[in-house]
Chains A and B, each alone.
Chain A
Amino acid sequence: MALALQTFATVKDANAALKSAGTRYLGGGTLVVRAANEGDVSVSSPVRSTDPALSAIEVGGGKVRIGASVTMAEIARHPELGPLAKAARAVGGPAIRNMATVGGNLFAPAPYGDFAVALLALDAAVGTDNGEMPIETFLVGRDDSRAIVTSVSFTKPDNFRFLKVSRVKPKGVSVLSIAVVLEQAGDGTVSSARIALGCMADRPMRAKAAEKALLGRTLDPDGIAPALAAASEGTAPITDPIASAWYRAEVLPVHLGRLLLG
């Protein structure tokens, strides 16, 4: 089948079109058009929606809602999304950032998907026409997900940290990425921690043992030691041309430590 792009004004109509065989939702093109260029003939009809809501960023009352078609570049330059800029800028070079979307990043297989790692640490809700679901739930089922992602929503964090480790600077893909959202009590001890990891499984995952080990501890070498010791728990790092699973597992605690102390 020759390629045929279908464009719809509403997400609803686009969702209906996606029920046909050979369709796939087209975001910024970095995944779907690439696959077609590389000879993936399973998709004959990319489907997209020009619904303006998909391109909106709403910030208010401590909450953030980002439409799924919003690009990494738009996030990186948005005045009220400052803390997230680092994670958005971690994706690709300037041209890719002008194209790659929030929605697409949620589907990007490791070692891609650095922004989704940030969203996981932010405990974002992923929106579709069927309502919202926690990002953790979404990620588990994403391979079978057919409904168009319309938005991600989260609470604006006070203490958000992000680190992407890559071999090539300033742009290379991830050896691993780490996003951390922390809350600290008045005495500096950690009262809440969410740590998300990229490349430590086939999709972003939480480092829950490390999060737990951080509670009540101070952010100094002794304080974080138990969290670092637990960082690899439950991980199944990928092996790819960038790095082996062994290497990723070895350096995860090193980089997590540097991020927490930095």
Chain B
Amino acid sequence: MELRKNYFADVRKDDLHEIGQPRPRSDSPGHVTGKTAYFADRNFPGMLHLKMVRSPHHHARIRSIDTSEAEKHPGVVKVLTAKDVPHNVYTILILIQVGPEDETVLADGKVRWKGEAVVAVLAETERAAQEAAAKVKVDYEVLPAVFDMEEALKPGAPLVNEYHGQNYYLYDSGECRKVRFGDVEAGFAEADHVLEQSYQSSPIEHAPTETTGCVVVPEGNDRFTCYTNTQAMFFTLDNTSIILQMPGSKLHFVGGTVGGGFGGKVDVIVEPIAILGAKLTGRPVCFIYSREEEMQISSPRAAEKVIIKDGVMKDGRIIARKVTGYTDAGAYSRHSPYGAQKGAGHYPGPYTIPNVWIDTYCVYTNRTPSSAMRGFGVTIGDFALEVQMDKLARLIGMDPLEFRFINAYRDGDMKAHRQPTEGAALIECMQEASRVANWPVAEKYMAMSSYKNGA
């Protein structure tokens, strides 16, 4: 890595003792000696293992659940179903007033995705829990499922989630989050070329080497200590408090040393049910995702579909951009309504475009609920935007890098979401990329600046 100090030399500094210094990491000695304590490195006498009975169907009504054989299985201490969960229907973003509550901790009457948690088995050993889980009998009536976002949005599609009543999230702005800036249709009418293209992704897993999980210990004083690898301590604690209808003062979360997150450990899934198990048995409980669960049950990055329609002039100026984004939330909201909205705030990318129209939808389908991941709401959008930029440049016969200079945002430029640009540095990144990659651009672009009124 090289630090190039010639850019922004008037404002950047090397004036500090500790900041800017390559100090060794304080956690690294623990890592290399195997001494760092992750949540699962704590072992408590009498600890129970929690295994989840999961839905084998993408969409089904639950006619009945019979746990009697499982409960009799040697080593089984407790079997939990929906009726055991005090506030079984929840949604994590309710803490920031993003509702409605739309997800069950344990399925109640219906499953909406293959892998959904239905029954929790707590046993003395992992093996006993697995064997008992195999003895839980669930009678399902399979329902039609929908996996394709466009299909899900059509009239007559199977309804994924009754708590929403339609297969999209209803924002205060309606069926999508909207950004309106200038007159996009006038821009298309004026443009020398109009290019509309569609981009698609599929779900992506965070795949941290340490799977999601927690270890819960009843402290004997009606408090519960939860060793967890959540990425958000109070977010998890406060949601747990709601789900278990238990004052937050009874909950003590210890964490902060995590074997990789990448956004995959921001859902509140393992902690509430494990704490409930510890409460109802009085025993320590561990609930740790298997690798298979981490790969297919934990929330992935959402699949997205992005349609971009641009009006571009022969001289390289983009004068109108319309973006329609679809985020595949899967069966439940989790963080997806936020992600789709974050996308609306990100488009049309780091470019100054006078006419912009953005609609972003959060769509429900019968698949594993998606949630946040590194680059949430932006990563796939950037893929679409930057491939589109390449296509536009080639369409008008312009060098793709020079084309970006023409449209790059600079300090003071008004963004589509009506904030003036501050602290821009796209132009300088491109200038340095031009140098380091030996991708020459015209001198006028190398002389540009992100500063207001920069050349």
Distance between Cα atoms of A36 and B126 in the complex (Å): 10
Across the interface, which residues of B come within 8 angstroms of A2, CB to CB?
125, 127-128
**A3 CB within 8 Å of chain B:** yes
CB atoms of B127 and A3 under 8 A apart:
yes
CB atoms of A41 and B134 under 8 A apart:
yes
CB atoms of B130 and A41 under 8 A apart:
yes
**A60 CB within 8 Å of chain B:** no
Across the interface, which residues of A come within 8 angstroms of B130, CB to CB?
39, 41
B130: nearest residue on chain A (CB-CB)?
A39
Chain A 141-174 near chain B by CB (<8 Å), digits 1 or 0: 0000000000000000000000000000000000
A3: nearest residue on chain B (CB-CB)?
B127
**A185 CB within 8 Å of chain B:** no
Chain B 92-131 near chain A by CB (<8 Å), digits 1 or 0: 0000000000000000000000000000000001011011
Across the interface, which residues of A come within 8 angstroms of B292, CB to CB?
38
**B209 CB within 8 Å of chain A:** no
Across the interface, which residues of B come within 8 angstroms of A21, CB to CB?
none
Q: Which of A52-68 contact B (CB under 8 A)?
A: none
Tell me how far the C-beta of B289 lies from the nearest C-beta in chain A, rounded to whole angstroms. 12
Across the interface, which residues of A come within 8 angstroms of B290, CB to CB?
38-39
Distance between Cα atoms of A36 and B292 in the complex (Å): 13
Distance between Cα atoms of A157 and B292 in the complex (Å): 41
Distance between Cα atoms of A36 and B128 in the complex (Å): 12
**A1 CB within 8 Å of chain B:** yes
Distance between Cα atoms of A38 and B126 in the complex (Å): 10
Q: Which of B53-85 contact A (CB under 8 A)?
A: none
Distance between Cα atoms of A2 and B131 in the complex (Å): 9
Tell me how far the C-beta of A36 lies from the nearest C-beta in chain B, rounded to whole angstroms. 8
Across the interface, which residues of A come within 8 angstroms of B265, CB to CB?
none
Distance between Cα atoms of A36 and B131 in the complex (Å): 11
Across the interface, which residues of B come within 8 angstroms of A3, CB to CB?
127
Q: Which of A30-44 contact B (CB under 8 A)?
A: 36, 38-39, 41
Across the interface, which residues of B come within 8 angstroms of A36, CB to CB?
127
Across the interface, which residues of B come within 8 angstroms of A41, CB to CB?
127, 130-131, 134
Q: Which of B287-329 contact A (CB under 8 A)?
A: 290, 292
Tell me how far the C-beta of A142 lies from the nearest C-beta in chain B, rounded to whole angstroms. 25
B132: nearest residue on chain A (CB-CB)?
A41
Chain B 125-145 near chain A by CB (<8 Å), digits 1 or 0: 101101101100000000000
Q: Which of B237-295 contact A (CB under 8 A)?
A: 290, 292
Q: Which of A1-33 contact B (CB under 8 A)?
A: 1-3
Tell me how far the C-beta of A93 lies from the nearest C-beta in chain B, rounded to whole angstroms. 15
Distance between Cα atoms of A1 and B127 in the complex (Å): 8
Distance between Cα atoms of A1 and B134 in the complex (Å): 12
Across the interface, which residues of B come within 8 angstroms of A1, CB to CB?
131
B129: nearest residue on chain A (CB-CB)?
A39
**B178 CB within 8 Å of chain A:** no
CB atoms of B51 and A39 under 8 A apart:
yes
A2: nearest residue on chain B (CB-CB)?
B127
Distance between Cα atoms of A246 and B280 in the complex (Å): 52
Distance between Cα atoms of A2 and B75 in the complex (Å): 10
Tell me how far the C-beta of A32 lies from the nearest C-beta in chain B, rounded to whole angstroms. 14
Distance between Cα atoms of A3 and B292 in the complex (Å): 21
Distance between Cα atoms of A39 and B125 in the complex (Å): 12
Tell me how far the C-beta of B54 lies from the nearest C-beta in chain A, rounded to whole angstroms. 11
Tell me how far the C-beta of B246 lies from the nearest C-beta in chain A, rounded to whole angstroms. 30
Distance between Cα atoms of A3 and B126 in the complex (Å): 11
Distance between Cα atoms of A73 and B294 in the complex (Å): 31
Distance between Cα atoms of A41 and B292 in the complex (Å): 16
Distance between Cα atoms of A38 and B51 in the complex (Å): 11
Distance between Cα atoms of A39 and B54 in the complex (Å): 13
> Which of B127, B133, B134, B292 has the most chain A CB atoms closer than 10 A to its own CB?
B127
Distance between Cα atoms of A39 and B297 in the complex (Å): 15
B74: nearest residue on chain A (CB-CB)?
A2
Across the interface, which residues of A come within 8 angstroms of B127, CB to CB?
2-3, 36, 41
Distance between Cα atoms of A1 and B135 in the complex (Å): 12
Distance between Cα atoms of A3 and B134 in the complex (Å): 16
Distance between Cα atoms of A182 and B161 in the complex (Å): 60
Tell me how far the C-beta of B21 lies from the nearest C-beta in chain A, rounded to whole angstroms. 37
Across the interface, which residues of A come within 8 angstroms of B133, CB to CB?
39
Distance between Cα atoms of A3 and B75 in the complex (Å): 13
Distance between Cα atoms of A76 and B125 in the complex (Å): 39
Distance between Cα atoms of A98 and B140 in the complex (Å): 45
Across the interface, which residues of A come within 8 angstroms of B134, CB to CB?
39, 41
Distance between Cα atoms of A2 and B129 in the complex (Å): 11
A37: nearest residue on chain B (CB-CB)?
B290
Distance between Cα atoms of A38 and B125 in the complex (Å): 14
Distance between Cα atoms of A38 and B134 in the complex (Å): 13
A42: nearest residue on chain B (CB-CB)?
B134
Distance between Cα atoms of A2 and B123 in the complex (Å): 12
Across the interface, which residues of B come within 8 angstroms of A38, CB to CB?
290, 292
Tell me how far the C-beta of A79 lies from the nearest C-beta in chain B, rounded to whole angstroms. 36
Distance between Cα atoms of A3 and B127 in the complex (Å): 8
Distance between Cα atoms of A1 and B292 in the complex (Å): 23
Tell me how far the C-beta of B53 lies from the nearest C-beta in chain A, rounded to whole angstroms. 11
Distance between Cα atoms of A41 and B73 in the complex (Å): 13
B292: nearest residue on chain A (CB-CB)?
A38
Across the interface, which residues of A come within 8 angstroms of B125, CB to CB?
2
> Which of B128, B130, B133, B292 has the most chain A CB atoms closer than 10 A to its own CB?
B130
Distance between Cα atoms of A41 and B128 in the complex (Å): 9
Distance between Cα atoms of A41 and B125 in the complex (Å): 13
Tell me how far the C-beta of A176 lies from the nearest C-beta in chain B, rounded to whole angstroms. 23
Tell me how far the C-beta of B52 lies from the nearest C-beta in chain A, rounded to whole angstroms. 11
Distance between Cα atoms of A41 and B126 in the complex (Å): 11
Distance between Cα atoms of A2 and B132 in the complex (Å): 12
Distance between Cα atoms of A41 and B132 in the complex (Å): 10
B residues apposed to A, CB below 8 Å: 51, 125, 127-128, 130-131, 133-134, 290, 292
**Sampled A-B contacts (17; CB under 8 Å):** A1-B131, A2-B125, A2-B127, A2-B128, A3-B127, A36-B127, A38-B290, A38-B292, A39-B51, A39-B130, A39-B133, A39-B134, A39-B290, A41-B127, A41-B130, A41-B131, A41-B134
Other A-B contacts than A1-B131, A2-B125, A39-B133, 7 sampled, CB-CB below 8 A, are A2-B127, A3-B127, A39-B51, A39-B134, A41-B127, A41-B130, A41-B131
A residues apposed to B, CB below 8 Å: 1-3, 36, 38-39, 41
Q: Top 10 A-B pairs ranked by shortest CB distance? A: A39-B130, A41-B131, A41-B134, A41-B130, A2-B127, A3-B127, A38-B292, A38-B290, A1-B131, A2-B125
